[in-house]
Amino acid sequence: MRTHSKETQSSLTPQTALQILKEGNERFVKNLKANRNLLQQVNETSTGQFPFATILSCIDSRTSSELIFDQGLGDIFSIRIAGNILNEDILGSMEFATKIVGTKVIVVLGHTKCGAIVGACNHVEMGNLTTLLNKIQPAIFNEKTTTENRDGSNADFVNNVTKLNVHLTIERIRRESPIIAELEQQGLIKIVGGLYDVETGVVTFNE
């Protein structure tokens, strides 16, 4: 698998970039790996990087974007934080990744059985974690289908909140970053949500 260059990065459309991630996840699920020499990629990226995707995912140890999308060194910007929440530092990182470096797709990736989502549903309060989990509360508030057992013990409720959290995060990216919104309007990038299943390894995209 070749290392991305300025030329290969520039030639990709947002849809093609997304397709590369889909194909990588298919390889992962089938326990296949693209043939790549990581040490060679160290050398080839030593003077610059030309990643094609920016992925916001959870810190969960099972959700490494490089692994579940079968990507190598220099392929993706990986932003990881509990609950794949958004703040201004992450938005700034996304603006750098897209406007300056030239990635073609932003993926907001949630996952099943997310401890941060469960904690937020249970209204956990503990030190600085309290502030982080509060950023998930809008998704809990917007989950209107569950009328009983609205806590972390209800798997359906947690799953609904997880999906809403991804959706609301994408809305915030568009609303709070005019730079990214303009790139999307111009067709230069694509913003999509995804859900990683920790039991199967499959990523389901919402385009």
Per-residue pLDDT of the chain (207 residues; tens, 9 = 90+): 788 888 888 899 999 999 999 999 999 999 999 999 889 999 999 999 999 999 999 999 999 999 999 999 999 999 999 999 999 999 999 999 999 999 999 999 999 999 999 999 999 999 999 999 999 999 999 999 999 999 999 999 999 999 999 999 999 999 999 999 999 999 999 999 999 999 999 999 997
Please tell me the predicted confidence (pLDDT) of residue 127.
Answer: 98
Question: So what's the pLDDT on residue 73?
Answer: 93
What sign for the dihedral angle of Cα 147, 151, 156, 162? Answer: positive
CA neighbor of 71 nearest in space, from 87, 47, 49, 93: 49
Domain limits, the chain: 6-112+166-206
The CATH T-level fold of domain 6-112+166-206 is Beta-carbonic Anhydrase; Chain A (3.40.1050)
pTM for the whole thing? 0.95
Residue 93 is predicted with a pLDDT of: 98
Measure the CA–CA gap between 52 and 75, rounded to whole angstroms.
6
